Amino acid sequence: MSKLDRIRHFLNENKAGLAIVSDPVTVNYLTGFDCDPHDRQMFLFVYENREPALFVPALEVARASTVLDFPVFGYVDSENPWQKIKAGLASTDSPIIYAEFDNLNVTKFQGLQTVFEGRFENLTPFIQKMRVIKSADEIQKMIVAGDYADKAVNIGFDNISLDVTETDIIAQIEFGMKKIGINQMSFETMVLTGNNAANPHGIPGTNRIENDSLLLFDLGVVSQGYVSDMTRTVAVGQPDQFKKDIYNICLEAQLTALDFIKPGVTASEVDAAARNVIEKAGYGEYFNHRLGHGLGMDVHEFPSIMEGNDLVIEEGMCFSVEPGIYIPEKVGVRIEDCGYVTKDGFEVFTHTPKELLYFDV
Ligand code: MN
Ligand code: MN
């Protein structure tokens, strides 16, 4: 069954005539049309019993029409998009309309309400359920994205020097990626030196790389519409024993969780596998975020690998395993790999070594 057929089947089961997809990533996932409309309007209308239609800004109509085998219509900036939708769509009297509540903002919602009279229900949980299990083709694309992340972090390693700043290294990484054809990173590349790494969402800046300290890299690339996400923390010079101990506790936590993952365990149990190691070592309070997040076409998607999530892990799910220990003003470590659940375990997308790597500067 095609992805659009699965939406139609869902609508039929729920006695609804129409689903309205507003998240550009979902549009791409369902149709293969990749477009960011920015502040303009784009909607995919999927009918239960009629061919779908895509509404886009006028400047995207030609490109969309070459990708899609169903009607595309648009509006220019000076037109009212809601009136254009109303005029361009066959009317629907569906009493129930599914829309992506996690994406729809108030402006879009109110605009759509001027066009459709039915009651709005939430499509997001069904989309999450579709996207959470990756096909072999999707996993193949994520393996490629993972390979690029390994290349990117190694460019970072090659540029470690006391003469440069965090943003200098980021510039080298992203320049190197562009040179081999990657046009987008998954998120703002992070290179954090010394105490700046002790902040789980530290902001890179003009800090010079510190000696006898830890240096954290968190990065990923977008390749064929799929993302990678990895973190490595390495030693510059000779960090003191305390920093090395913290590193090794974090590593043990990560390896324990990776080893634990297989179909049938819950997301909460996976989180606990790593968290128990850090708690037993006495640093539980410094691991102050969930263990991981799903990823695929988005860098953060369903499911959350966290305490209290009873979701049962299934073959084909893809998520990150990223324990961290952040002790303010002292040390910050995070180790992250993303991977996919196999029939009896978990395979990671990134393979850069994880024993503490030393860089003499
Ligand atoms: Mn992550
Ligand atoms: Mn990350």
218 CA → ligand 2 middle, Å:
5
Q: What is the mean pLDDT of residues 178-197?
A: 96
Indicate if the pLDDT at residue 322 is higher than 80: yes
Give the pLDDT score at 106. Answer: 96
Indicate if the pLDDT at residue 217 is higher than 80: yes
Are the beta carbons of 296 and 134 closer than 8 angstroms?
yes
Q: What is the mean pLDDT of residues 236-264?
A: 98
294 CA → ligand 1 middle, Å:
8
Indicate if the pLDDT at residue 90 is higher than 90: no
229 CA → ligand 2 middle, Å:
5
Are the beta carbons of 97 and 85 closer than 8 angstroms?
no
Q: What is the mean pLDDT of residues 115-138?
A: 96
**Which ligand sits nearest to residue 299's alpha carbon?**
1
**Maximum Cα–Cα distance across the chain:** 70
52 CA → ligand 1 middle, Å:
35
Are the beta carbons of 228 and 145 closer than 8 angstroms?
yes
Q: What is the mean pLDDT of residues 9-26?
A: 97
Residues lying with their CB under 5 A of ligand 2, a single-atom ion: 218, 229, 231, 336
Are the beta carbons of 150 and 217 closer than 8 angstroms?
no
293 CA → ligand 2 middle, Å:
10
Indicate if the pLDDT at residue 202 is higher than 90: no
187 CA → ligand 1 middle, Å:
10
343 CA → ligand 2 middle, Å:
25
Q: Nearest CA to 337 among 345, 348, 347, 326?
A: 348
Neighbours of 335 (CB within 10 A): 24
pLDDT band at 201 (very low <50, low <70, confident <90, very high): confident
CA distance 121 to 243: 51
Average pLDDT of the chain, as a whole number: 97
Instruction: Report angle CA 16, 22, 24 to the nearest 5 degrees.
Output: 135
Indicate if the pLDDT at residue 200 is higher than 90: no
250 CA → ligand 2 middle, Å:
15
270 CA → ligand 2 middle, Å:
18
Give the pLDDT score at 311. Answer: 97
* Residue 14 DSSP label: T
323 CA → ligand 1 middle, Å:
10
247 CA → ligand 2 middle, Å:
17
